[in-house]
C-alpha cells in the first residue's frame, strides 16, 4: 500500500511538473513570438488546430472511452456556442499577452472566481457562502494594486485579459453543464470543441490575418522565418499538452487539490515570465500580484468547505425531531398513538430511518434517514407504494 501511494504521489508530481512547464513555456514562447510577429489570431489558429490534430491520437493511446451522445439540437444549442467562445477567449488571451506583460495578464486572469460567482448567480440563481464572497476582496484588491503600478500598462491589454477571463468563466460553467447533460468524457468534449472551434475560426483567420501576413514584407523577408515557424508550432504543442496534463491532474486528485495546483501554476507562469522575459516590475506591483493569487487560494478553500457543508446536508437531508410524538402522529395520520419502537416498525415509519429516543425524556424522539439496503434497492418503488404514505424519502 505504501509503495502504491508513493508511486501515485511520484506520478502526480511528475505530471504537475510537466503541466507547469508546458504552461510557462507556452506563455513565454507566445510573448516572444508576438513581440516580433504581431498576429494574435494566427497564434490562436495554431493552438486550436494543434489540439484538433494531435488530441485524437493521444486519446486513443490513453484509452479514453467514447462515452455519451450529443443530439443535433443540443449540439447547436450548447456545443456550437462553447466552440465559438473557445476561439474568442483564445484570441482575447493572445491580445492581452501581446499588449501587456505575461505576469500582469495572468494577474488579471486571477479574477476568474469573481466572474464565476457572478454568472452562477445570474444564470443558475446559485448563492455562495459568506467566506466565498469575502475571498473575492483580496483578488479584486490585488488586481487593482497591480494595475495601478503596472509599468507596461495598456488599456487594450487589460480589457482583453478581462474579456478572456469572462469567456473562460462562461466556458467552465457551461462545459460542466454539457458534461452532466450528455455524459461525454471531458477529454472527448475538449477534442470536439477544439475541432469545431478550428472550423468556425478558419474563415475569420483567412480574412483578417492571412491576407495581412501575405502583404507584410517584414514577415516574408524575415531572416529567421523557419525558427519563427518552429516557435509558433511549439507554442501550439505546449498549449495542447497543457490541456492534457490539466485533465490528467484533475482525474488524479480531488477538486480542492486541483484548484490549489491550478493556482500554483499561475504563480509558476508569473515567476517564469519575470525570470525569462525580464519585464520591469516594482515591488508594489509584485505585492499586488501575490495578493491576487493569495485571494484565489482563499476562494478555493472557501468553495471546498462550502461543498463539504452541502454534501453533509445531502447525506442527512431531512431530520424530524419532536417533543410530542403522539401529537406528531395525530397530525400526520401516520403513526399510532404509541411511541414504542415496535409500533413504529409495524407501520413502516422507521423502516428506512433510525429512531433515536431521548432516555431523559421518553416523550421525545428523533427520526434520521439511514443508508439504503443494497439488497432492497430493486424493490424500492414496490416498498414505497406498499407502505403507503411515509414520512421521509431516503
When computed from its CA atoms, the radius of gyration of the chain, rounded to whole angstroms, is: 28
Asked if 47 and 137 sit in the same domain, the reply is yes
Asked if 307 and 361 sit in the same domain, the reply is no
Residue 251's pLDDT is 75
Asked if 50 and 195 sit in the same domain, the reply is yes
DSSP tag of 389: S
DSSP 216-284: -HHHHT-TTHHHHHHHHHHHHHHHHHHHHHHHHHHHHS-HHHHHHHHHHHHHHHHHHHHHHH-----HH
- For residue 122, the tally of other CB atoms under 10 A from its CB is 9
| Strand-pair partners of 367 | 320, 355
Of 256, 291, 314, the last residue of a domain is 314
Of 314, 348, 369, the last residue of a domain is 314
Single out the residue of 318, 303, 331 nearest to residue 367, CA to CA: 318
301-334: b (≥16 Cβ within 10 Å) or e: bbbeebeeeeeeeeeeeeeeeeeebeebbeeeeb
Give the global pTM: 0.76
Return the C-alpha cell found at 243: 490541456
Asked if 260 and 374 sit in the same domain, the reply is no
The whole-angstrom distance between residue 328's C-alpha and the CA centroid of its chain comes to 46
In angstroms, the CA 35 to CA 204 distance is: 22
Each residue's pLDDT tens digit, 259-310: 788 888 989 999 999 999 988 888 999 999 999 999 999 998 998 888 888 8
Helices (H), the chain: 2-36, 40-62, 72-74, 80-99, 102-108, 112-124, 130-148, 155-182, 186-205, 211-214, 217-220, 225-252, 255-277, 283-315, 325-332, 341-346, 380-386
Residues 6+ apart with CB under 8 A from 378: none
Asked if 347 and 382 sit in the same domain, the reply is yes
In angstroms, the CA 25 to CA 15 distance is: 15
Each residue's pLDDT tens digit, 79-98: 999 999 999 999 999 999 99
Provide the domain count of the chain.
Answer: 2
Single out the residue of 219, 178, 218 nearest to residue 69, CA to CA: 178
Asked if 260 and 328 sit in the same domain, the reply is no
Residue 330's pLDDT is 52
DSSP tag of 81: H
Asked if 119 and 174 sit in the same domain, the reply is yes
The whole-angstrom distance between residue 37's C-alpha and the CA centroid of its chain comes to 32
In angstroms, the CA 274 to CA 192 distance is: 35
Single out the residue of 254, 290, 255, 252 nearest to residue 271, CA to CA: 290
Within-domain flag for 81: yes
Backbone angles phi, psi at 6, to 5 degrees: -65, -45
203: pLDDT strictly greater than 60: yes
Of 280, 314, 348, the last residue of a domain is 314
Single out the residue of 206, 239, 216 nearest to residue 30, CA to CA: 239
Asked if 226 and 189 sit in the same domain, the reply is yes
| Strand-pair partners of 365 | 322, 357
Within-domain flag for 394: no
Each residue's pLDDT tens digit, 311-333: 777 654 444 444 454 554 555 55
Asked if 308 and 347 sit in the same domain, the reply is no
Residue 387's pLDDT is 36
Confidence of residue 257 (pLDDT cuts 50, 70, 90): confident
Each residue's pLDDT tens digit, 128-160: 999 999 999 999 999 999 999 998 899 999 999
Within-domain flag for 203: yes
Asked if 221 and 369 sit in the same domain, the reply is no
In angstroms, the CA 205 to CA 217 distance is: 19
Top pLDDT among 264 and 372 is at 264
Within-domain flag for 117: yes
347: pLDDT strictly greater than 70: no
Q: Residue 295's domain spans which residues?
A: 2-314
Top pLDDT among 388 and 268 is at 268
Within-domain flag for 392: no
Asked if 366 and 269 sit in the same domain, the reply is no
Residue 201's pLDDT is 95
Asked if 55 and 146 sit in the same domain, the reply is yes
147-165: b (≥16 Cβ within 10 Å) or e: bebbeeebeebbebbbbbb
Within-domain flag for 97: yes
Amino acid at each position: 500500500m505504501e509503495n502504491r501511494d508513493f508511486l501515485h504521489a511520484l506520478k502526480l508530481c511528475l505530471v504537475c511538473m510537466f503541466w507547469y512547464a508546458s504552461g510557462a513555456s507556452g506563455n513565454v514562447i507566445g510573448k516572444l513570438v508576438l513581440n516580433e510577429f504581431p498576429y494574435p489570431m494566427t497564434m490562436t489558429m495554431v493552438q486550436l488546430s494543434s489540439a484538433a490534430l494531435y488530441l485524437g491520437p493521444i486519446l486513443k493511446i490513453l484509452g479514453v472511452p467514447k462515452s455519451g451522445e450529443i443530439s443535433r439540437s443540443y449540439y447547436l444549442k450548447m456545443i456550437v456556442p462553447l466552440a465559438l467562445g473557445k476561439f474568442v477567449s483564445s484570441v482575447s488571451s493572445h491580445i492581452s499577452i501581446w499588449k501587456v506583460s505575461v505576469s500582469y495578464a495572468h494577474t488579471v486572469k486571477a479574477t476568474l472566481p469573481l466572474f464565476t460567482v457572478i454568472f452562477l448567480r445570474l444564470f443558475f440563481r446559485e448563492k455562495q457562502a459568506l467566506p466565498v464572497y469575502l475571498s473575492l476582496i483580496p483578488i479584486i484588491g490585488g488586481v487593482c494594486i497591480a494595475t495601478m503600478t503596472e509599468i507596461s500598462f495598456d488599456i487594450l491589454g487589460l480589457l482583453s485579459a478581462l474579456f478572456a477571463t469572462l469567456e473562460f468563466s462562461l466556458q467552465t460553467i457551461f462545459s460542466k453543464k454539457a458534461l452532466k447533460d450528455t455524459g461525454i468524457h471531458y477529454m472527448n468534449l475538449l477534442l470536439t470543441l477544439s475541432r469545431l472551434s478550428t472550423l468556425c475560426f478558419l474563415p475569420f483567420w483567412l480574412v483578417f490575418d492571412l491576407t495581412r501576413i501575405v502583404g507584410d514584407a517584414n514577415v516574408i523577408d524575415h531572416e529567421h522565418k523557419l525558427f519563427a515557424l518552429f516557435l509558433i508550432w511549439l507554442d501550439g504543442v505546449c498549449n495542447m499538452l497543457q490541456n492534457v496534463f490539466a485533465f490528467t491532474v484533475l482525474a488524479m486528485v480531488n477538486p480542492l487539490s486541483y484548484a490549489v495546483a491550478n493556482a500554483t501554476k499561475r504563480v509558476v507562469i508569473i515567476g517564469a515570465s519575470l525570470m525569462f522575459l525580464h519585464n520591469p516590475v516594482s515591488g508594489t506591483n509584485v505585492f499586488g500580484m501575490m495578493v491576487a493569487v493569495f485571494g484565489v487560494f482563499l476562494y478555493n478553500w472557501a468553495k471546498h468547505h462550502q461543498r463539504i457543508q452541502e454534501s453533509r446536508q445531502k447525506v442527512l437531508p431531512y431530520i424530524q425531531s419532536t417533543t410530542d410524538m403522539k401529537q406528531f402522529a395525530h397530525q400526520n395520520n401516520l403513526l399510532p398513538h404509541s411511541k414504542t419502537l415496535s409500533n413504529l416498525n409495524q407501520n413502516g415509519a422507521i423502516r428506512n430511518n433510525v429512531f433515536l429516543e431521548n432516555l431523559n425524556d421518553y416523550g421525545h424522539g428523533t427520526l434520521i434517514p439511514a443508508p439504503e439496503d443494497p439488497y432492497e434497492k430493486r424493490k424500492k418503488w414496490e416498498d414505497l407504494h406498499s407502505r403507503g404514505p411515509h414520512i421521509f424519502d431516503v
